[in-house]
Amino acid sequence: MGTYVNPGNSGFAVALRGEYVDKTGLISLVNEAMGGPRRLICVSRPRRFGKSYAAEMLCSYYSCGCDSRSLFERLAIARDPSFEEHLNAHNVIRMDMTDLLHRGEDVVVATTQAILRDLCADFPGIASTSDYYIDAILSVVRHTGRPFVFLIDEWDAPIRERGEEQARRYVDFLRTLFKNAGFTGEAVAAAYITGILPIKRYNTQSAISEFREYTMLSPEGYAPYVGFTEDEVRALCNRHGMDFEEARRWYDGYELPSPQGGAPLHIYAPFSVMRAMESGRFASYWTVTAYDSLLTYIERDFDGLQNKVADLVAGERLAINPRKFDNDMREVNDADDVFTALVHLGYVTYDEESSTVRVPNEEVRLEFVDSLERGTHPEVRRLVEAADKTLQATLAGDAEGVAASVEAAHNSRVGPDWYNEEQSLRFAVKLAYLTAIEKYAEVEELPSGHGFADIVYLPKRYARIPAMVVELKWNKPVSSALDQIRDRNYPKVLQDYGGPLLLVGITYDTKTKRHSVAIERVWK
């Protein structure tokens, strides 16, 4: 048992000692593809989606270097007809490319040497007769009668983190393994590679065209197995006494096409969900990601990106063309490429029917707000500063100040073609309160009393500030907005809140294009 060749099942055993959500249905899919034309599988998902856990699980199940029956016999895969056929029945080569990147200056040399070293140690007298890793693998296959299952975690790390020359040499290494008809046909039972980005394209063609790719844009049958489904999150919330609707607001939003057709699957990032369950607190558990490499484009306002990011945070959808992106963050040519990369990174979610992207949830919105606040582009800085002043004016009861802020947002960020549409005022208000989500949870169309409140801002636990109910009106006196809040008893939903409440009415006159605001404080 080596580090890279038949490394055993200890990683999966550790996962099972925690609160494990059964994802062994993934094994069934790989078993179905084993040895056939679909046996080369590339699954790309954002960080925090459980990709490494999946690789550990597959390694434990397939590797003939361990006995994993006791780990799997109570899980879903044990009921699958293919369970016995492939359980610990294959040689496995498992590579974590983020680890191998640090094993030497040349990642290909470090990887091939590590494989050859393990083969020689595990199969002395067989693999040691060759100093070329390909020949050593073939010798083991011919001696044992067992072709290899290749598992490559973070397969795209060398492409993301090393220069063009090393990236090309690394892709050539992958071609040697998986695009060599003689070797691949004899030595590869299956390959499961996983990373953030789909396989890099050169001249519009995949570098390793034989791989079937299952991405955030096209996950097919792999959609439920990388990330948590809504039912799984609901069960976790019930077990931990957590509010499922709050979990949905914080972490839902990744809508992947369902393999059965119909409504899309709602997928959650496991890392954030589990941290929330463990701590008993909904918050942002985002970790440092490859998004930092895109800040350069946003910071210099590449193709108007900063304004587009602000629109996304305010709730807008943006139309993109994801088909031009070559799956390499170093080759970003326009805003379409940036936002396609952000889909794969998990910062926006893509709707195939409308070809648009949007911010998926509260956790990601907070990250975008942070990026805007760190930015230095003058127009965006003014937008952030204006949003801070809008909230300050609201809390101070300065109705004229709030009206001026909303009017400025409406005038500067809404085009003439839809300026007088109802949704444009809602967008202007959300933009004016852009940075409020750092202290508030923003809820639209909240059922309360005898109707739906337009926008409700609920203070987060640590924020000692009033809740706010915002009602929007057109071509009516501003007093009518406050009257509707009272008449329909919108504050009822907040009656257990216990703190102060601000009723905020905002109206717009389509002829004069003037905005009016009224603010009333209740529940002192």
- How many Å apart are CA 136 and CA 132, to the nearest integer? 6
Q: Are 9 and 71 in contact (CB under 8 A)?
A: yes
Per-residue pLDDT tens for 256-275? Answer: 887 777 778 899 999 999 99
pLDDT of residue 375: 66
Q: Are 256 and 219 in contact (CB under 8 A)?
A: yes
pLDDT of residue 235: 97
Give the best-scoring range by mean pLDDT among 125-129, 323-327, 409-413, 466-470.
466-470
Among 236-245, 296-305, 400-409, 478-487, which is the least confidently predicted range?
Answer: 296-305
pLDDT beyond 80 at 306: no
What's the mean pLDDT when you consider all of the chain? 86
User: Which residue is listed with tokens 């011919």?
Assistant: 142
% of residues, the chain, pLDDT over 90: 41
pLDDT band at 367 (very low <50, low <70, confident <90, very high): confident
Q: Average of pLDDT values for 402-413? A: 84
% of residues, the chain, pLDDT over 70: 89
pLDDT of residue 204: 46
Dihedral sign, Cα of residue 381, residue 387, residue 391, residue 396:
positive
Q: Average of pLDDT values for 489-514? A: 82
Helix, strand, coil percentages, rounded to 5, for the chain: 50, 20, 35
pLDDT of residue 384: 80
pLDDT band at 60 (very low <50, low <70, confident <90, very high): very high
Q: Average of pLDDT values for 241-252? A: 93
Q: Average of pLDDT values for 15-33? A: 95
pLDDT band at 108 (very low <50, low <70, confident <90, very high): very high
What is residue 94's three-state secondary structure?
Answer: strand
4's tokens: 């890279």
381's tokens: 């800085």
pLDDT of residue 273: 95
Q: Are 100 and 49 in contact (CB under 8 A)?
A: no
Q: Are 208 and 12 in contact (CB under 8 A)?
A: no
For the chain, which residues make up each domain, given as ranges? 10-219, 228-279, 290-374, 389-522
pLDDT beyond 60 at 65: yes
- How many Å apart are CA 383 and CA 405, to the nearest integer? 10
Q: What is the dihedral of CA 180, 185, 188, 192, to 10 degrees?
A: 70
Q: Taking each helix axis as running N to C, give the angle between helix 51-62 and helix 25-33, from 0 to 180 degrees, rounded to the nearest 10.
A: 60
pLDDT band at 291 (very low <50, low <70, confident <90, very high): low
pLDDT beyond 90 at 147: yes
pLDDT band at 230 (very low <50, low <70, confident <90, very high): very high
pLDDT of residue 256: 85
What is residue 163's three-state secondary structure?
Answer: coil
Higher-pLDDT residue of 16 and 498 is 16
- How many Å apart are CA 515 and CA 505, to the nearest integer? 10
Q: Average of pLDDT values for 282-305? A: 67
Among 167-171, 255-259, 490-494, which is the least confidently predicted range?
Answer: 490-494
Record: fold of 290-374: Arc Repressor Mutant, subunit A (1.10.10)
pLDDT beyond 50 at 121: yes
Q: Average of pLDDT values for 59-80? A: 96
pLDDT beyond 80 at 403: yes
Among 188-192, 357-361, 392-396, 426-430, which is the least confidently predicted range?
Answer: 426-430
Dihedral sign, Cα of residue 491, residue 494, residue 499, residue 503:
negative
pLDDT of residue 463: 62
> What is the residue type of 55?
A
User: Which residue is listed with tokens 């070797």?
Assistant: 183
Q: Average of pLDDT values for 203-217? A: 74
pLDDT beyond 50 at 290: no
Among 30-39, 97-106, 266-275, which is the least confidently predicted range?
Answer: 97-106
Per-residue pLDDT tens for 415-463? Answer: 555 555 667 788 888 888 888 888 888 888 777 666 778 888 888 766 6
Record: fold of 10-219: Rossmann fold (3.40.50)
Give the best-scoring range by mean pLDDT among 171-175, 364-368, 437-441, 453-457.
171-175
Among 80-89, 278-287, 335-344, 491-500, which is the least confidently predicted range?
Answer: 491-500
Q: How many CA atoms lie within 13 A of 78 on its CB side?
A: 9
pLDDT of residue 14: 93
Higher-pLDDT residue of 301 and 343 is 343
- How many Å apart are CA 245 and CA 73, to the nearest integer? 34
pLDDT of residue 312: 83
